[in-house]
Each structure stands twice: as structure tokens, then as C-alpha cells.
Structure 1
């Protein structure tokens, strides 16, 4: 019996605040895409793992964050260009939508301010502050954090996650990302299923199978004009493999990927197919937390050596 997992990187402006020229169409689509995904998941009764940037849960801030060990200038855009854009910096209403939704979504962390954990400039103290602050804010909302999604999938400082009680993270996809990976999936019969594993810190790594927006631009437009949305085709293949196999098909996206009506149609088509195959077969839909809990019960956890905790591994 296989399972489908959907995880979302919920970040609004924080996913782009460190970029010199943020993609404006995506920056402005964060809120509408977030609500569209909540609505579609509710329609098909599909739970998902929502990894939220902790800053979005604040009611307000001075933009300084003097007690946070971030590099100089890290919060500059919040204080300048986006000073009058609370809709990009805060999202308490959207987070409430996750917590109040049916089905029962998993609340997860996407760090406090979208720091890149594999950057040499990200010290262990900064990683610790990012995790500690996000866990603290979640607790203020009555939420515990079991799962973590690394900003831009930049895996690092896994020991810090474990020390703060996090049990799972989304690992890198074992296959190529982007258009190349999509084409490979269409032309070959390779399995898109992944197997969770437990690392030396006791964390369950649940690798990604498919980024739902890995085939965009002119190539997508041409493909849709003569054939069909290639991402829907590939997603259906992975869903079918999970329906008849024993692995995990793990799809992921950002709400801000939904910038156009055709993006909404893509995700609705994928979710509709998940729901259909779930009713026709033994396919299950789980969150990252569900899988981690089940996997930790059945698999032995490797005991980290003292050296493993003395330094941060990638």
C-alpha cells in the first residue's frame, strides 16, 4: 500500500526578501495561491503538510529584530521597500485558515525568516535561533512542530532540528529537478516513489518526488497547446505508482507558484486524481508527520555519536 504526500512552502514575501530583484508576479500571488490551495484541498478532503515561515505568525514587529543573530541587512527589505506591505510580511489570517481547515492539515516549520541552512554564512547559532523562534511562535498558537521544510531545500544543521524536537524533514529529490526531470519521467518508466529513512540524528528524511511547477514558461505553453499539462501527466504517473506500490509519492509546491488560473487548474486536476485513485484503490494520503510517526515505530533509529552533535552536518 503506497501513500501520497503533499507539502507546501508557505512563505509570502519571505521567500524572496533576500533577492535583489524578486519575481513580482510570484510575490503578489502568495496570498491568492495560499487561499486557492486551501480551498482545493478542502474540496477533495486531502490533508497536506503546510510549512510556515514563523514571522508570518507575528502580529507586528519593528523590522529590526535586534535579538536575532542574522547577518547585517538581512531584514532590510522589511524595513524599506516592504515597510508598507504588511500583506507580504504577516499572514496570521492565512495561518488561521490552515489551523481551522477541514481536513486536518499538518502545521510544520519553514524557519523563522527563510534563512538558507546550507549557506556558509549561516552559523549554528543562527540556525538555532531560526528554529527556536519558529517553534516558540508555534507554541504560542498552541501548535507543536514535528516536520521541517528547508528554505530552498538547502539541507543543513540537521542536529539543530533534532535538538528542538523536530522529527522529520523533506530531503532533496533523488532525481533531476525542473524540465529535465519532467522529461525523464515522461520518457522513462522509472519509479517516482521514495523511501523514508532515519538519519544519524533520529530524523526521518522524507525525500521529495516531484516539484509541481518544474515545467514552466514557453515549454509549458507549447506542451499544453499540442498535448496536455506535462506536470499533470507526470503527477498522475506517480500517483498510480503509489496506488499499486509500497512507497511514497511526495509532491511539493509553493502557494506563490499559483500565479494564473491555469496553475489553479493544474493543482485541481492533480488533487482530483489523488481523490479518485484513493477511492478506487488502497492508496492513502498522509502528512509528513504521519509518515514520520509510522516510520519511527517500525524502523530502528541510528544512535548518533558524540561527534555527530559536535558539528553540524549537511
Structure 2
């Protein structure tokens, strides 16, 4: 059987943890995390499109002291949690949202986005800290009756891949330069460069599923101007990537954060992309995969066994 092209959609699900270390976090996006999470779940259910949801492990807690004394985080790492956001449980915890994800009728993949959004690529993040983040994420996932096979690096800062391999991770989202914003539009539309990527097994035995396109990298006045004279550039790029995948045997991997959906305008962008993906899937051999699906496929193509990690059906039944 001939290979067919595929589309992967991954989401960095983090609520306040995506911004807690910033001096001046973007208020609109901080406050949109829950709204965007629910909007994306609804859209994905409407079009029956499975996605890889990389969840910050701390969101799966019901409560904490804000100190995490046994965690080898650098001084001040949890300061905002026990200070400015002490009374903002909606930013620090999200067990209700995670339950909605795991109970979805769509077969989403549950993945890891670390425990507290530690930047693995920073020089300050040593191996001890990386191990602690994986240990905490694994432990809280097990308490929920699930596990993860895929890992998405906060802010796409790749590092400590050996630790991922040690803790049983099979796949991660690698970073592809020039795949967002004006540069992505120029390279694809003007230079006619492909948006497709080729997943591969790296030297640690992990499957790198590179990013093709960040769906919210063209915003502000540039987006408004483009829409007034043409169309939403990110919708155009996403459709182009989907079309490329539909006529090839390669992969188009788009990604976003739920908190990118701050208004109905952003919802409309995602609706346009997902509805187009659904249509192209129905009229061609195009498949929609999760990162775990890709990892399994790549491993099998190399003669390596691998089974994608999905929510355990018995555990899922217990949540209903």
C-alpha cells in the first residue's frame, strides 16, 4: 500500500504557566487560556479531528502550597504562584479542563508540556531540574490513570533529550526555523517553499516530529491589513500545507496554544482551517495523526515496535 500524507495538530495547553516567569505577561492571552481551551475542544469535536494536547502537569493538581519545596527549581520560579496569582486558581489549576479533554469523544492524545513550564533549552536548566519535571509529570499522569508518549518543549527550546528517552518518551516536536510570522508567509507564498516536514528518529531513539507552522504568528496590524486586502494569511498557509500533504506522502504539522484564541475572530480562523482539513480528508487519502501516531508509523517503517499512548479506556469510563 502506498504511503499517504498526513496532518498533525498539536496544542501547548498551559493556562497561566506559559507566562508565570515573564515580568510583564500579556494580559489578554493569560485571561484567554480557559476560553481558548474550551473553544478548541468544541471545534475539534465538531469536525472529529484528533490532536496532540501537551498539558502542563501542574494543571492536573487540585491544590498546592505554591512552594514545591522538594522541586529543584531555581529561586523564585514559583514566586508568582504564591504571590500575585495566589488567589488565581483558575490560572494555576485546571483539573476540570483536563477532564474535559480526556472525556472527549474525539481520540485526542494526552502529552506532556513539563510540570511547570521549565525551559529545557536554557543553560540554567540542568539535568536534575529536567528529571524533576519529568518525574512530577509522570507521577501526576499516573494518578489520573494515564501516561504520555509525546513531549512538547516550552517555547520550543529543545534540550535534555536523553532525559526524555530515559522516562519513556517516544516523540517530541522539534523546532523548524522561519515557520511563523511574515517570514513563513514570504517563504511559502513568494519563494514557494514547502511547508511539509519529515519526522525522523534522532540519536536518542526519539522521533522528532518537526513543526511546520505556528498558526498565530501573524497578528496585530499586519494581520488586519492582510485581511482587509486579501484573506487571513494563516488560513491561506494552513490550506496550502494541507493541500501539500494531501498530494504527497509527507507530514504537515501545525500548532498553537489554546490561549491564542482570544476573540471570535481567532475562533473563525481555526474553524476555517479545521473545516478545510475535514473536507480534504473526506475527498482524498489524507490522514490526520497525533504525534504518537507518527512516532508509531516511523518506528514501524524502521522495523521498530511502538504503540501510541492514548487514554486508557477503563480509566476514561470511570470519569463519565
TM-score bin, normalised by smaller chain: over 0.9
Give the distance between the partners of 2:298 and 2:185, measured in 1 at CA: 29
Q: Which residue of 2 aligns with 1:19?
A: 22
Which secondary structure state, in structure 1, belongs to the residue aligned with residue 136 of structure 2? helix
1:96 to 96, 99, 104: 99
Question: Do structure 1's residue 224 and structure 2's residue 263 form an aligned pair?
Answer: no
Give the distance between the partners of 2:223 and 2:61, measured in 1 at CA: 38
Contact 2:60/2:95 (<8 A) preserved = yes
Which secondary structure state, in structure 2, belongs to the residue aligned with residue 6 of structure 1? strand
Q: Which residue of 2 aligns with 1:258?
A: 261
Q: Which residue of 1 aligns with 2:38?
A: 35
Give the distance between the partners of 2:261 and 2:188, measured in 1 at CA: 23
Question: Do structure 1's residue 3 and structure 2's residue 3 form an aligned pair?
Answer: no
Q: Which residue of 2 aligns with 1:106?
A: 109
Q: How does 1:1-314 map to 2 (within 5 A)?
A: 1-299=4-302
Give the distance between the partners of 1:293 and 1:142, measured in 2 at CA: 22
Which secondary structure state, in structure 1, belongs to the residue aligned with residue 279 of structure 2? helix
Q: Give the TM-score, by structure 1 length.
A: 0.94
Which secondary structure state, in structure 1, belongs to the residue aligned with residue 85 of structure 2? coil
Give the distance between the partners of 1:188 and 1:42, measured in 2 at CA: 35
Give the distance between the partners of 2:145 and 2:293, measured in 1 at CA: 19
The one-character-per-residue Cα deviations of 1:218-260 (angstroms, maximum 9, x if unpaired) are 0000011111100000000000000000100000000000011
Q: Give the TM-score, by structure 2 length.
A: 0.93
Which secondary structure state, in structure 2, belongs to the residue aligned with residue 97 of structure 1? helix
Give the distance between the partners of 2:105 and 2:249, measured in 1 at CA: 27
1:185 Cα shift? 1.3
Give the distance between the partners of 2:115 and 2:188, measured in 1 at CA: 34
1:174 Cα shift? 4.6
CA RMSD of aligned residues (A): 0.9
Give the distance between the partners of 1:268 and 1:199, measured in 2 at CA: 34
Contact 2:120/2:159 (<8 A) preserved = yes
The one-character-per-residue Cα deviations of 1:26-75 (angstroms, maximum 9, x if unpaired) are 00000000000000000000000000000000010000000000000000
**Mind listing any 5+ residue stretches in structure 2 that lack a counterpart?**
305-320
1:177 Cα shift? 2.9
**Mind listing any 5+ residue stretches in structure 1 that lack a counterpart?**
302-314
